Amino acid sequence: MRAPLRAAVAWGMAMALSGLALATAVSAQGQEKLVFDSAQGYDQAEATAFQQRTGIRVELSDMSTGPLLAKVTAERENPQWDVVWFDGNAAMAELDAQHMLLRGYTPPNAARYTALGRSLLPADHAFFPTGVTAAGVIVYNTRLVPPADAPRTWTDLLRPFFRNAVGMNNPAVSGPTYPIVAGILAQMGMAKGERFFLNLKRNGLVVNTTNGITLQALLDGKIKAAIVQDSAAQAIRQSGGPVKVVYPPSGVVLLPSDIAIDAKAPDMAAAKEFVNFVLSPYGQRVMQDEKQAGSDSLFQPIIQGVRPLVDRAGVTWIHLDPYVWGARESSIVTWFTDHVVR
């Protein structure tokens, strides 16, 4: 409870006017407003839960990661947002490098991080991981791909069997897709990795904007296999879709969902309270509500005591340095657009 609210309640009790005290409390809380920009499936549920718990009014703008980053960057000198939340610590690191994010704040619930969660926390505490997924896995339609032709590795997708039948998203639009591209470039080396994507294009790669379009094409039989974020693929599998999810043995890039506060946040106190709320056990349970959050609820928890909804035992995780690959994002996305998308 904030100091103005405590004063109002105390005064109301002293005057024995409980109705007036309640009205004053609501008014004091109503003065605060959290402006929240997000590209997460659970953002509305989280905003609603936070508002109900605290009385702080939340103004949510939900959009894809690409447009979200463009909006945030455009408002750099005159920020209109308090908190931003999306998948991809490389993009967060780039915002941090531009001094756009609040540094040095440690929410009390950060003490709940697992060892994996602590390993993803930047030294300057400019952003906070809230859960992780695999940036990219292979998912294929089992009605179209017999076991003998099932892909196990990234390069299996270059076989003639998959000509004109592999889909993925555009990293200029889909936030999780840049880490997929960066991870493959890191694993294979830049030259070999670029050749891999060029060969995918020569083999008829279909590039869409988002997971929903790519996965619908997979279910409709327009493509046989896709490279997508594993939570989206796992949701299709759990719903009974005719798919199998493959984690290549060479490893998959660990993709954190990260939340950060604007260095010039219009309502800094509300922003800090919201970040701490998200890292709480209750905030995490809200993120795991599949009815409201959809596939984004299938993240790997990094808060102690939170159980995963998907078994990822045995997966080899690859952790990219977000500050190295964040600085390269613009040039790599431009290269991908010029040579693979077009």
Q: Give the DSSP letter string of 215-266.
A: HHHHHTTS-SEEEE-HHHHHHHHHTT-SEEEE--TT-EEEEEEEEEEBTT-T
Q: Give residue 292's pLDDT.
A: 83
Instruction: Encode the chain (342 residues) as per-residue pLDDT tens digits.
Output: 333 333 333 333 333 333 323 232 333 444 689 999 999 999 999 999 999 999 999 999 999 888 899 999 999 899 999 999 999 999 999 999 999 999 999 999 999 999 999 999 999 999 999 999 999 999 999 999 999 999 999 999 999 999 999 999 999 988 889 999 999 999 999 999 999 999 999 999 999 998 999 999 999 999 999 999 999 999 999 999 999 999 999 999 999 999 999 999 999 999 999 999 999 999 999 999 988 888 999 999 999 999 999 999 999 999 999 999 999 999 999 999 999 999
Which residue reads 């000198």 in tokens? 77
CATH value of 3-130+258-309 in 3.40.190.10, 3.30.70.360, 1.10.10.10, 3.30.70.20: 3.40.190.10
CATH architecture, range 137-253+321-341: 3-Layer(aba) Sandwich (3.40)
Could you tell me if 224 and 151 are in contact, meaning their C-beta atoms sit under 8 angstroms apart? no
- Where does residue 88 rank: exposed (0-12), middle (13-18), buried (19+ CB within 10 A)? buried
Return d(Cα 64, Cα 317) in angstroms, integer: 25
Output the DSSP codes for 26-95.
HHHHHT-EEEEEE--TTHHHHHHHHHHHH--EEEEEE--HHHHHHHHHHTSSS---SEEEEE-HHHHHHH
Asked whether the domain spanning 137-253+321-341 has the same topology as the one spanning 3-130+258-309, the reply is yes
Q: At what angle do helices 177-188 and 89-97 cross, to 10 degrees?
A: 90
Q: Give residue 72's pLDDT.
A: 94
Q: Give residue 293's pLDDT.
A: 85
Domain boundaries along the sequence of the chain: 3-130+258-309, 137-253+321-341
Return d(Cα 333, Cα 342) in angstroms, integer: 12
